[in-house]
Chains A and B, each alone.
Chain A
């Protein structure tokens, strides 16, 4: 069975600095997608970024980028120029080609210090 692990329950970053959130996963599939979702205090889940496993190039969305290491099964999220609005829970998630389901990690709470 696939699993997703986020080993950092909480991270803190100074406004305008850069922070990296870690995520590792376990799977025997070769084709899959990985996601980072943001959950602000409103608790709505918002897609931050998506990475297709067959693509070697790391996905980027404005200040958000990933470091995807397929062999190491690692998928970290880098947030550059952190803003107060980035404060939220961040969830890493896995979706395989053989399933309808999305498998979530336990989340990392990001605090942004002004």
Chain B
């Protein structure tokens, strides 16, 4: 199974509030996990990826952070949200290890910061 769960599906938060988005995956152990953000009408921006528990690589400096407390759990957080954090957040997975493996995506979380 390549099932990916994302929670919540939709979120409206005030500026300056904290954020926690959760992604959990089923199936193969030790997957690579990814967080992407997509602004309205735009392409995908890679935010973070993880190749194992506690291993996080950041692609874009910002007020967001990611953690991987368990093999199949990936969390995106912020201490204080900005208006520019609004967007559609997608979690993705592929098999472990480097290389051109197919990424499969979750259903996404729509975040609106007011």
A102 CB within 8 Å of chain B: yes
Query: Chain A contacts of B99 at CB under 8 A?
Result: 95, 97
Contact residue among B44, B57, B102 (Cβ-Cβ distance under 8 Å from A50): B102
- Decide if B98 touches A100 in the complex (CB within 8 Å): yes
Render A80-95 as a binary contact track against B, CB cut-off 8 A, 1 for contact. Answer: 0000000000010001
Segment touching A, from B13-21, B70-78, B104-112? B104-112
- Decide if B100 touches A96 in the complex (CB within 8 Å): yes
Considering only residues 65-114 of chain A, those with a C-beta below 8 Å from chain B are 91, 95-102, 104-107
Considering only residues 86-105 of chain B, those with a C-beta below 8 Å from chain A are 88, 90, 92, 98-105
Query: Bound state CA distance, A32 and B44, in angstroms?
Result: 20
Query: Chain B contacts of A95 at CB under 8 A?
Result: 99-101, 103
Q: List the A residue with the shortest CB-CB distance to B98.
A: A100
- Decide if B98 touches A97 in the complex (CB within 8 Å): yes
Count B-side interface residues using an 8 Å CB cutoff: 26
Query: Chain A contacts of B102 at CB under 8 A?
Result: 33, 35, 47, 50
- Decide if A44 touches B107 in the complex (CB within 8 Å): yes
Q: List the A residue with the shortest CB-CB distance to B110.
A: A43
- Decide if A104 touches B44 in the complex (CB within 8 Å): yes
Known A33-B102, A47-B104; contact A100-B44, beta-carbon cutoff 8 A: no
Render A7-42 as a binary contact track against B, CB cut-off 8 A, 1 for contact. Answer: 000000000000000000000000111010100001
Q: Most A CB atoms within 10 A — which of B49, B59, B90, B100?
A: B100
11 inter-chain pairs at a CB distance below 8 angstroms, sorted by A residue, are: A33-B101, A43-B110, A44-B105, A44-B108, A52-B100, A91-B43, A96-B100, A99-B98, A100-B32, A106-B42, A107-B43
Interface residues in chain A, defined as those with a beta carbon under 8 Å from any beta carbon in chain B: 31-33, 35, 37, 42-47, 50, 52, 91, 95-102, 104-107
Closest 9 CB pairs of A and B: A33-B100, A95-B100, A45-B105, A106-B43, A104-B44, A44-B107, A102-B103, A97-B99, A100-B98
